[in-house]
Amino acid sequence: MMNQEKMMKTAKALDTLFRIARKIALIALIVLAIAVVTVTIVHFVNPEATIGTDFSSLDVGPVTFSVTPEAAPSNRQVLALVWIVFLFAAGCGLILYDILGRAGKILDPMKEGNPFHPTVANNIRRIGILILVLDLVQQVTDFALSLYANHFIREMLPADASVFIESNFQLSLTGVLVFFILLLVSYVFQYGAQLQQLSDETL
Amino acid sequence: MPIILRLDRMMADRKMSLNELSERVGVANVNLSKLKNGHVSAIRFSTLEAICDVLDCQPGDILEYKRDE
């Protein structure tokens, strides 16, 4: 009984944390969208206005590069990059928002003192799939951006310029590993739910 | 399920109501009703023992196996 009380208490605390995190994620997404739309509107109203402050050093996804002020990219090019990065960030943000919502749903039966509920197993498995998708999207995006940035920088510079571009892209298997661990945990909870049902139907 | 509970027949023989049986066995009325209507998947030996004790019968008097056709 002591353990059940601890579980209920922890689930309630975590639920509050997830609710706050979900609200922060939503606010961050809205603020980001407003910022990008504002920058776009400002660009169309005043095309000469500088986007950002200093483009002698520019981070494009996994690539960081430095250029002299004269060779800095045009506002239109920067805006295109801002939109690409924003769309991917928004996609990842929405997935993260969904993950936090599902985490909250996992905690609902735990708050009542019954962790072995069929919805728990389903949501754990779905969180695993979403984490895998998020990881794959991030890695594919990083890779695509590093290729694009490479091409973008080379096109911007004179053809005979000698340039070294450092790519920070790294392949990671963390998402795949987390997915399989969560899949296994979901099977454990599924089995637990079956046993719980058997116990509930036993007089 | 091929196992059929004949609790109602035994209760009628002993002229005992569900409420009385529920009180004497120590199982909630709702749960006993589920048991009577075959809506449970298992029964503990302790519950069966208490029912047999109150109804003064054998487990075979309230449990019946019927082969699925």
Answer whether A198 touches B (CB < 8 Å): yes
| pLDDT of amino acid A65 | 64
| pLDDT of amino acid A58 | 61
> How far apart, in Å, are the Cα atoms of B46 and each of A145, A203, B21, B37?
68, 9, 15, 20
Q: Give the separation between CA A67 and CA B60, rounded to whole angstroms.
A: 91
CB-based contact A116:A13 (threshold 8 Å): no
Report the chain A residue with the minimal C-alpha distance to residue B49.
A203
> How far apart, in Å, are the Cα atoms of B17 and each of A30, B7, B35?
64, 11, 14
Task: For residue B32, give how far its alpha carbon lies from the nearest alpha carbon of chain A (Å).
Answer: 8
CB-based contact A143:A172 (threshold 8 Å): no
- Which residue type occupies B61? D
| pLDDT of amino acid A22 | 94
pLDDT < 70 stretches in chain A: 1, 49-73, 161, 163-169
Q: In B, which residues are within 8 Å of A203 by CB distance?
A: 27, 31-32, 34-35, 40, 42-44, 47
Contact A202 B44 (CB under 8 A): yes
Q: Give the separation between CA A12 and CA A108, rounded to whole angstroms.
A: 8
Q: Give the separation between CA A137 and CA A201, rounded to whole angstroms.
A: 44
Q: Whose CA is closest to A52, among A60, B17, B43?
A: A60
Q: In A, which residues are within 8 Å of B27 by CB distance?
A: 203
User: Which tokens is A195 given?
Assistant: 């046993």
| pLDDT of amino acid B36 | 85
Q: Give the separation between CA A62 and CA B26, rounded to whole angstroms.
A: 68
Answer whether B29 touches A (CB < 8 Å): no
Contact B34 A198 (CB under 8 A): no
CB-based contact A52:A78 (threshold 8 Å): yes
Q: Give the separation between CA A146 and CA A127, rounded to whole angstroms.
A: 28
Q: How many CB atoms are located within 10 Å of the residue B46 CB?
A: 10
Answer whether B63 touches A (CB < 8 Å): no
Task: For residue A194, give how far its alpha carbon lies from the nearest alpha carbon of chain B (Å).
Answer: 12
Report the chain B residue with the minimal C-alpha distance to residue A201.
B40
Answer whether B46 touches A (CB < 8 Å): no
Q: Whose CA is closest to A169, among A55, A57, A60?
A: A60
Task: For residue A3, give how far its alpha carbon lies from the nearest alpha carbon of chain B (Å).
Answer: 25
Phi and psi, residue B57, nearest 5°: -145, 180
CB-based contact A90:A36 (threshold 8 Å): no
Contacts of A64 (CB under 8 A, 6+ apart): A57, A58, A166, A168
For chain B, 69 residues long, give each residue's pLDDT as a single digit of tens. Answer: 688 888 888 999 999 999 999 999 998 999 889 888 888 888 999 999 999 999 999 999 999 888 877
Q: Give the separation between CA B57 and CA B13, rounded to whole angstroms.
A: 11
